[in-house]
Structure 1
Amino acid sequence: MRNFKFIISGGGTGGHIYPAIAIANELKSRFPQAEFLFVGAKGKMEMQKVPQEGYKIVGLWIAGLQRRITADNLLFPVKLLSSLLKARTIIRNFKPDVVIGTGGFASGPLLQVAGIAGIPTVIQEQNSYPGITNKILGKRANVICVAYENLDKFFNKNKVVLTGNPVRQDLLKVRENRDEAIKFYNLDPSKKTVVILGGSLGARRINQLVASEAVNFAAQDVQVIWQCGKLYWEDYKQYNDNQNMQVVAFVDRMDLLYAAADVIISRAGASSVSELALAGKPTIFIPSPNVAEDHQTKNAMAIVEKEGAILIKEVELETKFSEVFTNLLADRNLQIKISENFRKLATPDATSRIVDQIEKLIIK
């Protein structure tokens, strides 16, 4: 069997990077002699995270369009042309057998060039509502691996395969690690633990909510682990009392964090939703309204419609959060129902399913 070459592009946020790395690791386990190259966006977190996992990465000078008039928007056509030209050089020099995109700024130019060159491409669409870039790329893609049903209304149904989103393998034993998690976070096992997640960069509105609800959390005698994000650490670190409130910028051991949680409050990015389904904990989603096509709300609704989570929109937080949270915390039957329904939606073998599709493209 000859040595295969794979280019994988995904980044901008952990939600694009970790699935890309998971796919690479599964490919490497099946094809140990394969060569890998990641392509990211210069200045984004993938340029550090990917090398930490042992893979080579090159960066494109690319960024997304802002919703308001900015200098960056004026530069967008220049950045796009530069990225397309560099992507063509990368494709020509590396000669990949397959190019895989998991989302992020860099995947657009790369998959577009690969498709035009006749190289097989695979899109890993993580959201329940695809963005405009993947809709365009989907016209040339060979396979579109999706995490939600009914995406054939956006793509050619003959290309769509329901696989789920890749998740970190350390999350597969979340429910077995409760005791280790309690010890790791120095928690009181007699108290309920609330975990609050705003994503790797943080979520301003969620952070404001937690700060305003700190007294309420204390009154309900719960212990809180609050991941505020590196952008907001300086603003909220004073809430860290190491007893009932632990404030962290970033979480390295997500498996233990999920294991420790009794209730989770989170954004609804695609990877987060997939991880939370695997954890199967009672979850309140507060989607970001500031993302393309409002896809976080659509991700959350796909779970809420199956009675697997609770959704509160940002504009409703002041009027609804306290009551919804208090009711959930007090209602054990509701917690069990939500957990069981959410867990049914998990796809722990998603990475393997995706790589099965890639393998079909190269093994004739």
Structure 2
Amino acid sequence: MSNYKIILSGGGTGGHIYPAIAIANELKSRHQNAEFLFVGAKDRMEMDKVPQAGYDIVGLWISGIQRKLTLKNLSFPFKLLSSLYKARKVVKRFKPDVVIGTGGFASGPLLQVATSKGIPSLIQEQNSYPGITNKLLSKKANTICVAYDGLERFFPKDKIIKTGNPVRQDLLDIENKRQDAFALFGLEKEKRTLLVLGGSLGSRRINELIEKELDYLLTHNIQIIWQCGKLYYDQYKIYGHTKHIQVHAFINDMACAYATADIIISRAGASSVSELCIVGKPVIFIPSPNVAEDHQAKNAQAIVDEDAAVLIREADLEVDFQNKFTQLMVSPERQKQLGQNIRKLALVNATSQIADEVDKLLKVKK
């Protein structure tokens, strides 16, 4: 059995971290003697989440360029040089057979160094509109795994493989977790459950919406699991003392959270959309407008076009939220239809297919 050495790099948000962990888990099941190393950004959530998943991680001093003119941008060249230097040391010491990038600040320096040394590399692009890091890296990467059609606008066509996005494997069997999930969260089985997700870091606008609409929501005789994000937890935790409302900075067992849910309110990041397709529950997407090329709205619209979700833009929340939420709540038939339709869009073998592509690169190396 080959003693492969594999580096995975990406992070900043759960949308970059959890796909990398899913890929590592699949490769570990195939190559039990393989060594894995993650490379992330210092002080970002991957420094906690990756060790919790059982893998070693090295942190680089790196961050993105702010879109607005800010003093923080002055430090970017120094961070980049520091990260390139450390990435070289990591690659020289670990001697990887293949490097996998899932997006985020840290993947740029690491993959730049690896590709310059001729180490086979794979990029896993989750979004319908890729970030600048992956667009630059794609010129030297061997393989680019994507989740959407039409990305030949940004990447070399002959390198693109459509696989879908990796998801946590425990999402594939959430119905069998439902009983245990209710016990885990201390929920009442006779009440319907609303799950509110603002992304791994939280969403200011969704939190403001839920706070404003709490009394209205509770008129529907529901219980709420509200993941507000660690940045906002101190502000909103007071509502967790109210009966039928739970406020969480972060939810570690997302499979159980999904299992309890009857309706989900969510951002429309690529990983979230991929997970929700597999979960197969009725979803109201509230995409973030503060992303490149408005790609969250495009992600959500692709699902809505298949009659598989409800979309409310932030600018329309005041006018549309209560109306669209009520329409969904009073129609079990519509809830069932949306759940069935979104499940049809799931690409459940993404992780395995990406691992297949990694295996091809490993064979090239050996």
**TM-score grouping bracket, smaller chain normalisation:** over 0.9
CA shift digits 1:148-175 (9 cap, x unpaired): 2222222122111111111111111112
- Say whether the 8 Å CA contact 1:175–1:279 is kept in structure 2: no
What displacement does 1:244 show? 2.2
What displacement does 1:42 show? 1.0
Equivalent in the alignment of 2:202:
202
Equivalent in the alignment of 1:42:
42
Equivalent in the alignment of 2:83:
83
* CA–CA separation in structure 2 for the residues paired with 1:194 and 1:186: 14
Which residue identity lines up with residue 310 of structure 1 in the other structure?
V
Calculate the TM-score normalised by the size of structure 1: 0.96
- Say whether the 8 Å CA contact 2:50–2:56 is kept in structure 1: yes
- Say whether the 8 Å CA contact 1:267–1:286 is kept in structure 2: yes
CA shift digits 1:49-99 (9 cap, x unpaired): 212222221111110011222222011111112212222222222221111
* CA–CA separation in structure 1 for the residues paired with 2:89 and 2:341: 47
1:130 aligns with 2:130: yes
Which residue identity lines up with residue 169 of structure 1 in the other structure?
Q
3-state secondary structure, aligned to 1:88: helix
- Say whether the 8 Å CA contact 2:196–2:266 is kept in structure 1: yes
3-state secondary structure, aligned to 1:16: helix
3-state secondary structure, aligned to 2:72: helix
3-state secondary structure, aligned to 1:140: coil
* CA–CA separation in structure 2 for the residues paired with 1:28 and 1:62: 28
* CA–CA separation in structure 1 for the residues paired with 2:146 and 2:77: 30
* CA–CA separation in structure 2 for the residues paired with 1:78 and 1:240: 42
* CA–CA separation in structure 2 for the residues paired with 1:183 and 1:26: 29
1:237 aligns with 2:237: yes
Equivalent in the alignment of 1:15:
15
Which residue identity lines up with residue 166 of structure 1 in the other structure?
P
* CA–CA separation in structure 2 for the residues paired with 1:79 and 1:293: 26
Equivalent in the alignment of 2:298:
298
- Say whether the 8 Å CA contact 2:40–2:47 is kept in structure 1: yes
* CA–CA separation in structure 1 for the residues paired with 2:353 and 2:143: 12
CA shift digits 1:271-317 (9 cap, x unpaired): 11111111100000111112233222222122112221111111111
* CA–CA separation in structure 2 for the residues paired with 1:28 and 1:113: 24
What displacement does 1:208 show? 0.5
Equivalent in the alignment of 1:271:
271
* CA–CA separation in structure 2 for the residues paired with 1:185 and 1:355: 34
Equivalent in the alignment of 1:107:
107
1:170 aligns with 2:166: no
- Single out whichever of 11-20 and 184-193 deviates more from structure 2: 184-193
* CA–CA separation in structure 2 for the residues paired with 1:183 and 1:47: 30
3-state secondary structure, aligned to 2:326: helix
Compared with structure 1, are the counterparts of its residues 185 and 48 closer, same or farther at alpha carbon in structure 2 (3 Å cutoff)? Answer: closer
* CA–CA separation in structure 2 for the residues paired with 1:188 and 1:21: 33
Q: How well do the aligned residues superpose, as a CA RMSD in angstroms?
A: 1.4
Calculate the TM-score normalised by the size of structure 2: 0.96
Alignment of 1:281-360 (within 5 A): 281-360=281-360
* CA–CA separation in structure 2 for the residues paired with 1:175 and 1:149: 30
Which residue identity lines up with residue 29 of structure 2 in the other structure?
S
Alignment of 1:143-158 (within 5 A): 143-158=143-158
Which residue identity lines up with residue 10 of structure 1 in the other structure?
G
What displacement does 1:333 show? 2.3
CA shift digits 1:158-206 (9 cap, x unpaired): 1111111111111111122222223332323332211101122211110
Which residue identity lines up with residue 193 of structure 2 in the other structure?
T
Equivalent in the alignment of 1:216:
216
3-state secondary structure, aligned to 1:118: coil
Unpaired stretches in structure 1, ≥5 consecutive residues: none
Which residue identity lines up with residue 125 of structure 2 in the other structure?
E
- Single out whichever of 337-346 and 146-155 deviates more from structure 2: 146-155
What displacement does 1:134 show? 0.9
What displacement does 1:118 show? 1.4
Identity %: 62
Runs of 4+ deviating beyond 6 Å: none
Unpaired stretches in structure 2, ≥5 consecutive residues: none
Which residue identity lines up with residue 163 of structure 2 in the other structure?
T
3-state secondary structure, aligned to 1:177: helix
Which residue identity lines up with residue 62 of structure 1 in the other structure?
I
Size of the alignment, in residue pairs? 364
3-state secondary structure, aligned to 1:19: helix
Which residue identity lines up with residue 69 of structure 1 in the other structure?
L
What displacement does 1:19 show? 1.0
- Say whether the 8 Å CA contact 2:129–2:292 is kept in structure 1: no
What displacement does 1:242 show? 5.2
3-state secondary structure, aligned to 2:158: coil
* CA–CA separation in structure 2 for the residues paired with 1:288 and 1:75: 27
CA shift digits 1:215-259 (9 cap, x unpaired): 101212121111111111111112124532221221122111111
* CA–CA separation in structure 2 for the residues paired with 1:247 and 1:54: 27
Compared with structure 1, are the counterparts of its residues 242 and 259 closer, same or farther at alpha carbon in structure 2 (3 Å cutoff)? Answer: farther
Which residue identity lines up with residue 302 of structure 1 in the other structure?
A
Equivalent in the alignment of 1:95:
95
